[in-house]
Chains A and B, each alone.
Chain A
Amino acid sequence: MKALKVFSAVLLVFILVGSAFAADEIRIGVYEPMTGQNAFGGQLTVEGIKLAHEQAPEVLGRPVKLFIVDNKSDKVEAANAVKRLIDKEKVVAIIGSYGSSLSMAGGEVAEKSGIPCITDSATNPLVTQGKKYYFRMCFIDPYQGAAAATYAYNDLEARNAALLLDVAQDYSVGLGNFFKKAFVKMGGNIAGTYKYQSGDQDFTAQLTDAISKGADFLYIPSYFAEGAIIMKQARELGAGFYIMGGDAMDNPDLVKIGGDAAEGFSYTTFPYAPEMPDMTKEAETFTKLWREKYAGTDMAEPNANSALGYDCYMFVIDAIKRANSADPEKITEAFASAKNWPGVTGSTTINETHDAEKPVGIKVIVSGAQVYTASVQPEM
């Protein structure tokens, strides 16, 4: 009996000492969709975060511990995941999530608890709007629309643009409006604004009208499935204008469906691709590390999501370093004051709405491949 008591006491001491050590580590939470419809993006993001963790496993002389939770591409799960990270795991900062609606669900919980969050790739302005603790590593939709207008006006020398927007998608309408604003400001003319609804298959009437108005550029901030059909029909109707879209077009199936009609199509996306020209030192290091770690797997090549995940982790570590503390309030302040922070996805400055200001990448379809051609700093 006595032996048992001694044993218990020893065990208790070990547990206490253990938790004392545990308190010494810095706990960072991650909530990403690793299953469900957004799994493709979420998994790559998490791999990027893990790779970054391997590179920087400690900060301020204390080890960093990652807590990765799957939000299952579900808004309720996302909110629960953030709650669990904060209440049970006692994290001091959170990375996530891929998908604007998931980030919005998680953001509400984090905001109440006062834990700083940074999202990797949620582009909807509402994610950070009016939030004290939510930040993002990517640009926002208006920024992207303006970048498309800048590229169209300066590089493609478009002057008479037509827009074809999906009225059922905030994403599409938002990008279209900001494109219009920036394009007109630069001196371009809007030949026509046409609309359709998600699921439509026939765009001939709108396209015929745009052609008759003499448009030399067509902006289609839609999803790739409809985008490919629009390109096909435009070319069938004899349209010679340039066609451009947004980051929702960044999908290999675009070329499969669009075929020849997709040739020359350009779209704005996150400013990283493994084959991009003029890579920064950070991007080069990341690409090399990724290729070494994942060689031979089905993720052998990094993409923008993995780069954004990597950047988020490094950004959090940098903020803790600058704050010289792992206190959530201090980290939040460090997030908000970041200027020209060098990341894989370009130099990042956090503005007053907590969004990253960074260049926007332009990809063009050349001979059936999506080629990274330029990084554009939008004229807002």
Chain B
Amino acid sequence: MTGQMFVQHFFNALTLGSLYALIAIGYTMVYGILRLINFAHGEIFMLGAYFIFFAGSLFNLPWAVGAVISIVLCALCGIMVDKVAYKPLRDAPRISALISSIGMSFLIQNLAIVVFSGIPRPVVRPDFFVKIVVIKGVRILPLAVIVPVVCFVLVLGLLFIVYKTKPGLAMRAISKDIETTRLMGVSVNRIIALTFGLGSALAAASGIMWALRYPQIQPLMGFMPGIKAFIAAVVGGIGSIQGAVIGGLILGFVEIMTVAFFPELSGFKDAFAFILLIVILLAKPTGLMGEKIEEKV
């Protein structure tokens, strides 16, 4: 493999990895606070991509306006999902909420098939995202730089909210002990709604970025990225925001590099993601950046 090809593979991996990271942050955040694996996250991600598609194709809104609308709508959807599927189960065993989230995921998927139809649709991409830059024979999409930057900014913003603001303090308190937090006079449901809103806004942001990278959307597009983001979150240490980013990048590199070095194994790209998951669970069950099990943050 020539150096030039390696650099090309590197940038391919960086783009894919930061997309996974972007989805994984929203995933891990809900888990970090509620200890709930929200399988509907991948579906909110899909809705994010559809909303920006409709904003552009039906209402002819500029791209940036569409993105904002999509993020707001997805945040509302996330809050609604919490109200319908998780709030009634707040005091039930954790497994009930997990099952409810799987149910929610299938419900949204199938509703999307009914409403949007199963036909894949093309997404129009603004030129500045896809105008290819060629540096010494390596072709780089501006997205390959924009996605990691967006990812970085969102992580900083999220860390600020969680560690420096009052609602953030309440979130961390809920993750420790939901009952006591309630007794302290915190409006637990409102804080959880906020958590879901934020997590879903992040899902929308990643859905939009994904649609820009792979400009074709369909109702089942959220399933595989959702699973991959889950793996990324576990590899990085589920619950840890920085861990999600690291896990996402590792996953992106594993996928691209296995194909790059072993082209004949390219059909087993997904298998390598799952092998990575198993290896991490065996070697370090809390993930790379995971907290020790006894003290939950």
The verdict on A38 contacting chain B, using a C-beta distance below 8 Å, is no
Interface residues of A in 233-291 (CB under 8 A from B): 236-238, 253, 256-257, 259
Q: Which residues of A contact B269 (CB under 8 A)?
A: 196-197, 200, 205
Given A197-B267, A197-B270, A236-B130: A202 in contact with B120 (beta carbons within 8 A): no
Q: Which residues of B contact A209 (CB under 8 A)?
A: 5, 259-260, 263
Chain A residue at minimum C-beta to C-beta distance from B143: A236
Q: Which residues of A contact B267 (CB under 8 A)?
A: 165, 167, 195-197
In the complex, A196→B214 CA distance in Å? Answer: 15
In the complex, A206→B258 CA distance in Å? Answer: 10
The verdict on B183 contacting chain A, using a C-beta distance below 8 Å, is no
B260 touching A205, Cβ below 8 Å: yes
Given A212-B1, A238-B139: A201 in contact with B214 (beta carbons within 8 A): yes
Chain A residue at minimum C-beta to C-beta distance from B134: A238
Size bracket of the A interface: 20 to 34
A236 touching B139, Cβ below 8 Å: yes
The verdict on A181 contacting chain B, using a C-beta distance below 8 Å, is no
The verdict on B266 contacting chain A, using a C-beta distance below 8 Å, is yes
The verdict on B60 contacting chain A, using a C-beta distance below 8 Å, is no
The verdict on B16 contacting chain A, using a C-beta distance below 8 Å, is yes
The verdict on A154 contacting chain B, using a C-beta distance below 8 Å, is no
Q: Which residues of A contact B132 (CB under 8 A)?
A: 236, 238
The verdict on A189 contacting chain B, using a C-beta distance below 8 Å, is no
A205 touching B266, Cβ below 8 Å: yes
In the complex, A135→B13 CA distance in Å? Answer: 49
The verdict on A125 contacting chain B, using a C-beta distance below 8 Å, is no
A206 touching B8, Cβ below 8 Å: no
The verdict on B122 contacting chain A, using a C-beta distance below 8 Å, is yes
Chain A: minimal CB distance from B241 (Å): 24
Q: From B23-31, B89-97, B216-224, B232-240, give the one contacting chain A.
A: B216-224
Interface set of A (CB-CB < 8 Å, partner B): 165, 167, 192-197, 199-202, 204-206, 208-209, 212, 225, 228-229, 232, 236-238, 253, 256-257, 259
In addition to A194-B259, A208-B9, A237-B139, 18 A-B residue pairs with Cβ atoms within 8 Å of each other are A167-B267, A193-B264, A196-B269, A199-B223, A199-B224, A201-B214, A204-B15, A205-B12, A205-B259, A209-B5, A225-B120, A225-B216, A229-B215, A237-B8, A238-B132, A238-B139, A257-B215, A259-B122
Among all A-B residue pairs, the 3 with the closest Cβ atoms = A195-B267, A205-B259, A204-B12
Interface set of B (CB-CB < 8 Å, partner A): 1-2, 5, 8-9, 12-13, 15-16, 119-122, 130, 132, 134, 139, 141, 210, 213-216, 218, 220-221, 223-224, 255-257, 259-260, 263-264, 266-270
Listed by A's residue number, 8 A-B pairs whose Cβ atoms lie within 8 Å are A167-B267, A194-B263, A208-B9, A209-B5, A225-B218, A228-B216, A257-B120, A257-B215
